[in-house]
Structures are given as structure tokens and as C-alpha cells.
Chains A and B, each alone.
Chain A
Amino acid sequence: MEFLMSIIVGIIFMAATYLLLSKSLLRVIVGTAVLSHGVHLLLLTMGGLKKGAPPILKEGLTSYVDPLPQALILTAIVIAFGVTSFLLVMAFRAFQELRTDDMDQMRGNDQHE
């Protein structure tokens, strides 16, 4: 199953990269969101997908899934959310001020830095 997951993660990365390279700012942000999903799944996969009980202690159980990657992913999800929402609001403001969401039109020039 890990190999299948690695391939899925690769496909998600591919989609994210393609979105990141596009012209529209909104698509770039969608790309970052997709990328973070890929990263979270990669973390989970690399931790091992061996079957076991959920990591909640219960009498009589010895086999649990690895809790450490889950803790790391939880932290990563929250941080990714914070960054994504900040990016979104920034894009929204940029659009309000510049009246465009085309990345090529947003680039600076020699006169204005």
C-alpha cells in the first residue's frame, strides 16, 4: 500500500506544481493548498501504514499505529491553514488594490520597486 500511496503523493505533487506555475494568483494559492495535502499524505505514508489500533490507549491492546507522524501532521495542518488563509487575504487585498490577479502583471519594474 505504501508504494501506491507514494505514487498518489507524486501525482498530487505534480498537480500542485502545475498550479503553482500558472498565471492566475488564485490558482497559485490552490496549488499551495494541494501541495500541503500531498506533504501531509507523504508524512503519513513514510511513517508506515501498518495496521494497528488508533493511537488511543485501551486495555489489552499492544499494537497501535505510530502516533508521532500523526502529531507532526496535526501541527503541519494547522500551520498550513494559517499560511493559506493569510495568502488568501493577501491575494484578495492585492486584487482590490491592483485590479488584477495576473501574476505577470503584478511584477515590478525598474521605475517602481
Chain B
Amino acid sequence: MSLLHLAIISPFLFAIFVPFVFKYFRQLHTGWFVLILPVLLFIYFFSFISITSAEETVTKTISWIPSLGIDFTVKVDGLALLFALLITGIGSLVVLYSVYYLQKDKEQLNNFYVYLLLFMGAMLGVVLSDNLIVLYTFWEFTSFSSFLLIGYWYKREKSRYGAQKSMLITVFGGLSMLGGIILLYLMTGTFSMAEIIQQTNGIITHHLFIPAMLCILLGALTKSAQFPFHIWLPDAMEAPTPVSAYLHSATMVKAGIYLVARMSPVFAETALWVWLVAGFGIITLFWGSFSAVKQTDLKGILAFSTISQLGMIMTLLGIGGAALHFDSVKDSYYTVATVAAVFHLINHATFKGALFMVVGIVDHETGTRDIRKLGGLMPFMPITFTVAIIGTFSMAGLPPFNGFLSKEMFFTAMVRVLNMDILNMETIGILFPVIAWIASIFTFVYSMIIVFKTFTGKLQPEKLKKKPHEAPIGMLISPIVLASLVLAIGFFPNVLANTIIAPAVAAIMPDFTVDVHISFWHGFTPELLMTFGVIAIGFLLYKTYPKWRAVYKIFPEKLSLNHLYDDALTNTERGSRRLTNSILTGSSRTYLLYLFVFFIIMLGSTLFIKDAFTFNTSNISSIHIAEVILAVGICIVAISILFVKSRLTSIILLGAVGYSVSLFFVIYRAPDLALTQLVIETISVALFLLCFYHLPKLKKREERISFKLTNALISVGVGAIVILIGLSAHSNKLFESISHYYIENTYKEAAGKNMVNVILVDFRGLDTMFEITVLAIAAIGIFGLIKLRQQGGKKTENK
């Protein structure tokens, strides 16, 4: 086991110790103990930068299930390292923040940190695994630990609802992804990502290629909360704020982004991939930013803003994939989109993490997150306000923050879409920059709402639960660090360019040499004009928001995706309950009907489809008059059982059938059978009469069985099938009986003259032994039925 494997497993190992620390060191906030790990991991991963910036990768393998080609292979390249640094870096800050956010004597800290560590380990596993099955394993671990974290306050109804919703949607996508992985395996014969990328050219025309792409894309879209699967993310905001900051802005929701980036070398050469990824991304971008404006809960705004920003990164990855599609364009004309995606990924993690923490602080210090109750907090919380303004301005894409730079690159990429010539891009492609621009305006509006509705205006002390004041310094450290990063990246973007962004882009596009240079000033380009437009119109819209907010009421609540999801859920439940209730009636007659109908349909259709019915008279014995009379007699008796009025008569007729059968045995030379049948029939009839005697007089319904057409039809069908099978089975004698052996050897080998008895006790004695057992069990069972009574929950003996 290498140190890299240990790095992935260490959060799981650490999680084992958390409950002990929580129990035995009550004075210490458990978070301090947990904090050690992500910090160490961050330092460890930081040391890889020198390796990856030289465009080298580190690969370490442990055998797991070698016979199935599943090995725990860890591979560090630029993309994996970027994510690992985000996970551990923001992980450290979130743990630090949570130490001050969660109170140690009121919360179940052991649960919280165990779940958080599980999540951290799973996430590291997702980004560092080269084997797709291992990746999938960790992927489901992230869904699972996220479920636990969302439902952390499990006594709240809404937490449970949100946790269930996110679980259902992400696991749905995860399973589809597993399907995609298996399809990839069928095409390439390997689970290793690196090997699959090498075989890309060979599989691109394979008929499973498109299904595999769609399955994997579905996994990525659900995890990254893309339209229309974004609905789980706003409900996941019931989780504690550190969780929202960590999982639902910086890390887990980017697992889908990671997957798309990782899979780009495999799939991006097809136009469909470019279209789907970019198309879903741009719809999500617009819908997220549009919906964010109408939210009144700060975390709700941030949730939709996360959705929208993830859509933006997704769009960029799709457009970046176009570079692989057009082989002729080898310059960095489209790769700028990939660079922008990676850059914005980092930027979003920094400012969104900071904003969630800010919201957490506001919630913590005032007792509400509702923007209608908040306002005028600036004088009380100057530091929080500063962080908030840095975060939101960066999110809105204003200079000099890092969001400005990535938004400019985003616009550049969008404008370049116009020059693509796949599927008439000149006409449809114009939508990309236009939608992107409109979405950016909405982004500007909600960013302004977050900061100005919360911190400026009039304070409404009567609506707040607590008297507002500045947060403790410990709680402010993490957002301050993130805000400083926002500024630092904004001013010195090229520090990241060659160390982190370039290796990551190289991992997404292995065949390209991309020159990453992020310039602050492009000159007067269309992008800059678009940004001016965003600011101008955004400002106007923000100021006039109360006048046009009625727009949101145009869409009826009934048509919303959440409503659709809830309806689908209740209808599935109701539908399956109805189905179960209608099929499983509890009446044994219904079940018998199913059985017989199935019997008739299956055997009847097989007989005729296979053309198995034959009629061959060569092998039959002659007919005697005595047999015919007996045959007619038994038929009359059997049928008349159905029509008799009294039960007594039916029992007597049953006895008649039995005695006729024994007469048949006599005719067909079976003395032992005739003997047994006579005795047993007598006993059976006696038993039947015994039961009959015990029926009470009142309940005795001496009436005809109510004639039922279905019963008649079914029973005629069964009889007909049995006749057909009997006839054709007899007409197809395939080989001779093995009974010659018994006839020849019954005296020689077994010293008996009665062949039937010798077969029963000698040749096939085992049958007889278990037949005796059956009788013994029946006798014991009958004894138990009569003797042991259950009355009033107590066993009493019947004397």
C-alpha cells in the first residue's frame, strides 16, 4: 500500500476514532481532532504540484479483484490534483468553521464528523481512482454520506425529505453510470480509464458507444444538479451550513463536472456529446440564475446560484470538447473554454464556499436567513459584510475579483461558438452567447440581492430572534481565507495558470498543447462590452425588481419540476399499491385462477407453436367392453360430484371414484395397487365423513354450488390441455422402458417374486423411506393440530 492509497483511506480510518474522541474527550470540540487530517492531506497533495506541472502523472496500484480486472489504481494528474486540493483545502476550512458553528454540547458531533470524514474519503476516492468500478464505489459512497449529512437533523421532517430526494435522484444517476461503465467495459475490455482513453478511436463507431455515453452523462448530470435533475439541491439546504458549503457548493456537486471532464477524451469527438453537455449546461445556467432571483431564503438563492454556476462550467466543458471534434482547429480557439471551465471551477469553489459561510454566520447571529426579515446588518457585522461583498461581486463577474476573469473567458468561449459549423451552428449557435448573457444579468441581480438586502437598508430588530452582532473570530477565519483567495486569484491569476490550470487542462485534452495565459485586460473586445451590458441592465433590473417580480407568478406551481417529482413519487406509490391490491386479493380462488390460466395458456400455446401435437395409433392396446363401461361410469360419477346438492352425496361419489380407480387397477393387472387403493379409499371416505359430521347444523348449506361460468371455462380448459398432452405424449414414444432390467433381475438379484414390492423396498428403497417419513410427519402434524391450541396468546393443552 502506497502513501497515496493511505491518503484516500485515512478519512475512513480517522472516522473510526471519532466516536471515541467524542465520548472520552468531552471538553475538546471533536472538530479540532478531525481538523488535523484534511490539513495534513492538503500539505501532502500540495507536494504533487511540482510533479504535475511537469505534465507527469503518478500511478499506484493495489490488486483488489484481479480476476475481474478491478484494481485499486490511484492516478494523480493535473485534474485529479486540482480536485484533491479543493477537497482537502476547503475541507480543512469547513471543519474549522464547523468547530465554531456547531455547539459541542447540543449537537451529535460524533455523527457529524464521521459522516463528513466518510464523505471526504469518498470524494478523494472518486477523483483519484483510475479504475472505473472503484470510482463508482466511491461515487455511491458520496451519495450515501451526503444523504446522511443532509438528514443530520433527522428529527426535522424537511431534512428527511431533502435527504430522501437527493438520495433517490443521485442514486438513480449513479446506477445509470454503472450501466455506462459496464458498456464501456464491453467495448474495451478494461475498467482502467487510462486504457480506455487509448482505445477511444477504436470504439467510436461501436453500436454501444452512444448508449454508454448517455448512461454516463446521466450520472454526471444528476450528481451535478443539472436541469432537470437540479431539484434535489435546493432541498439539500436543510443540511447544516458547513455541509452545504462543502458538499453542495465546492465538492460533491462537482463530481459530475469531474466525470464529464474525465470522460471528455473518450466521448468528446462526437458532436452529440458537445451538444448534450453544452446544451444541458446552458439550460441549467439560465434556469438556475432565473430561479435564484425569486428565492427569499439566502441558502435557497445560493443553491440556485450553485446550480447555475455548475451549468456554466458544464457548458464550457462541452464547448471545450468541440476542440477534439474539429481536428483542423489545432490552435487554442476552442480550448479556451476548457481553460475557463477549470478556472471557474476553482473560482466558484472559493467564492461560493465563502458565501455559504457568510450566510451561516448571518443565520447564526440573527436567527433567520429570510431576506424579507434581514437588512441593515452592515454596521453590526463589518467583516462579514466585506467577505460577502467580495464573494458576491466575484460571483456577479465584476472586476477586480476572480469571477470577472472567468466570466470574460466564458463570454469569449460563447462568442466563439458562433464559428462552429456543426449542425447549422450559425443559426442555433447564436443562442449560446445570448442565453449566457441573459443568465449573467440574472446572476448580477441575485448577487446584488444577497449582499444589499442583507446588509444595507433598514434594520428590523423586531423580526430577528437575536440581537445582531459580529461573529466570533474563529468563525470568520475560513470565509476570510476564502475571500483573500478570491482577491489573490483576481489580481495574480497567472500564479495558478501554469501550476494547476495547465496540468488540469492537459489531463482533459491529452493531445493539445494549451498555452494558458489569463490576462486581465483584453482590450475593447465584444466580451468587455457584454460585461458592461450585464452591469448596466443588471443594475436596472435590481432597482426595479419589485415591479417585475410578478413575472415569476406566470409559471403555475403545478407545472414546476418539484411538483412533478412529488406527483411522480406519490403516483408510483399509489399505483403500485393499487396494482398489488388488485392482484393480491387474499382469496385463494383468485390465485388458483391465475395458476390455471397460466397453465392453460403456456402449455396450450407451446403445444401449438411448437407443433407438438401428434396423434399416432400404432402403439395402443385394444379396447374391451368392460373397460369402456367402467370408463363411462367413472366419468359420470366424477362429473356428478359437481352437481350434487348435498355434501354427503359428494363424499360418497368421491368414494365411488376411488373404488372405480381400484377396479381399473384390477383390470390393468396391478394387484398391490388395487389393494392399497381399496384400503386407503375406505379410510379417506371415513375421514371425510368425520369432518362432515362436525359441521354445525345451522351452517350446513345443502345447496348446489353456485354455477360460475369462469370456473367452468377454466376447468374445461385444464381438462382439454391434459387430454391433449396425454394423447401426444403417448403418441411419441421415444425409447423403450427400463423395466426389462427389473423383470429379469427381480429374483436373480433381489430374491423376490413380486416385482412391485421388490422395486419399492430394494431397487428404489429410498423413495419408500421418505414416503414413510411423509406419513410420520402427517401423523405428527395431525396430532399437533388437534392437541395444541392457541388461545388468547397462550398455548393451552386440549384435554
Tell me the A residues contacting B by CB distance below 8 Å: 1-24, 26-27, 29-30, 33-34, 37-38, 40-42, 44-58, 64-68, 70-71, 73-75, 77-79, 81-86, 88-93, 95-96, 99-101, 103-104, 107-109
A29-B589 Cα distance, complex, nearest whole Å: 13
Query: Is A67 in contact with B727, judged by CB distance below 8 angstroms?
Result: no
Contact A103 B756 (CB under 8 A): no
- Bound-state Cα–Cα, A91 to B694, Å: 11
A71 in contact with B760 (CB, 8 Å): yes
Q: Is B575 an interface residue (CB 8 A)?
A: no
Give bound CA distance, A86 to B756, whole Å: 27
Task: Say yes or no for B472: interface residue by CB 8 A criterion.
Answer: no
- In the complex, the chain B residue whose C-beta lies closest to that of A100 is B699
The segment out of B236-244, B312-320, B534-542, B775-783 that lies at the interface is: B775-783
Does B695 contact A54, Cβ atoms closer than 8 Å? no
Among B71-79, B270-278, B512-520, B623-631, the stretch that binds chain A is: B623-631
Q: How far is the CA of A15 from the CA of B660 in the complex (A)?
A: 16
Contact yes or no, B621 A33, CB < 8 A: no
Complex Cα gap A57–B742 (Å): 11
**Is the pair A21, B760 in contact by a Cβ cutoff of 8 Å?**
no
Interface string of B738-749 (1 = CB under 8 A from A): 110011001100
**In the complex, A99→B737 CA distance in Å?**
51
Q: How far does the alpha carbon of A104 sit from the alpha carbon of B730 in the complex, in Å?
A: 40
> Among B651, B668, B671, B756, which residue has its beta carbon within 8 angstroms of that of A44?
B668
What is the CA–CA distance of A75 and B657 in the complex, to the nearest angstrom? Answer: 19
| Smallest Cβ-Cβ distance to A84: which chain B residue | B684
- Which residue of A7, A55, A84, A89 has the most chain B CB atoms within 10 A of its CB atom? A55
Q: In whole Å, how far is A8's beta carbon from the nearest beta carbon of chain B?
A: 5
A58 to B746, CA, bound (A): 12
Say yes or no: A65 contacts B676, CB within 8 Å. Answer: no
Task: Indicate if the CB atoms of B771 and A79 lie closer than 8 Å.
Answer: yes
Determine whether the beta carbon of A74 is less than 8 Å from that of B672: yes
A-B contacts, 29 of them at CB < 8 A, read: A3-B617, A4-B631, A9-B726, A10-B723, A12-B635, A14-B719, A15-B642, A15-B715, A18-B715, A21-B592, A21-B596, A21-B710, A27-B705, A55-B755, A64-B755, A74-B672, A74-B756, A77-B676, A77-B680, A78-B774, A79-B774, A81-B684, A82-B775, A85-B684, A86-B778, A90-B785, A103-B587, A103-B588, A104-B589
Q: Is B195 an interface residue (CB 8 A)?
A: no
Q: Which size class do B's interface residues fall under? A: 35 or more
Q: A14-B716, A21-B715 are in contact. Are A45 and B726 (CB under 8 A)?
A: yes
Extra contacts, 11 of them, besides A20-B592, A37-B657 (Cβ < 8 A), are A9-B726, A11-B638, A19-B642, A44-B668, A51-B621, A51-B669, A53-B669, A75-B768, A83-B778, A91-B691, A101-B699
Complex Cα–Cα for A50 and B695 (A): 46
Q: Find out whether the CB atom of A82 lies under 8 angstroms from the CB atom of B635.
A: no
A21 to B587, CA, bound (A): 11
* 8 Å CB contact of B587 from A16, A40, A90, A104: A104
Main secondary structure of the interface of A (DSSP, over half): helix
Q: Which residues from chain A contact B661 at a C-beta distance below 8 Å?
A: 37, 40-41
Cβ of B530 under 8 Å from chain A: no
CB distance from A104 to the nearest CB of B (A): 6
Report how far A100 CA is from B769 CA in the complex, Å: 37
**Which residue from chain A places its CB closest to the CB of B595 in the assembled complex?**
A20
Chain B residues with CB below 8 A from A55, complex form = 669-670, 743, 754-756
Interface secondary structure of B, over-half rule? helix
Complex Cα–Cα for A4 and B777 (A)? 37
Query: How far is it, in angstroms, between the C-alpha of A90 and the C-alpha of B313 when the chains are bound?
Result: 71
In the complex the two chains form, what is the Cα distance from A27 to B702 in whole Å?
12
Residues of A within 8 A of B711 (CB): 18, 21-22
Minimum CB–CB distance from A48 to chain B (whole Å) comes to 7
In angstroms, how far is the closest chain A Cβ from the Cβ of B203? 53
What is the distance, in angstroms, from A89's C-beta to the closest C-beta of chain B?
Answer: 5
* B726 contact from A42, A47, A58, A82, Cβ within 8 A: A42
Asked if B676 contacts A1 (CB within 8 A), the reply is no
Residue of A nearest to B622 (CB): A1
Residue B664 at the chain A interface, CB threshold 8 Å: yes
**Interface 1/0s, chain B 644-663, versus A by CB < 8 A?**
00010011001001100100
**Which residues of the partner chain A approach B43 to less than 8 Å between Cβ atoms?**
none
Instruction: List A contacts of B642 (CB < 8 A).
Output: 15, 18-19
Least Cβ distance of B111 to chain A in Å?
35
- Docked Cα-Cα span, A9 to B51, in Å, equals 84
Give the Cβ gap from B702 to chain A, nearest Cβ, in Å.
11
- Contact partner of B753 (CB less than 8 A), chosen from A10, A57, A75, A101, is A57
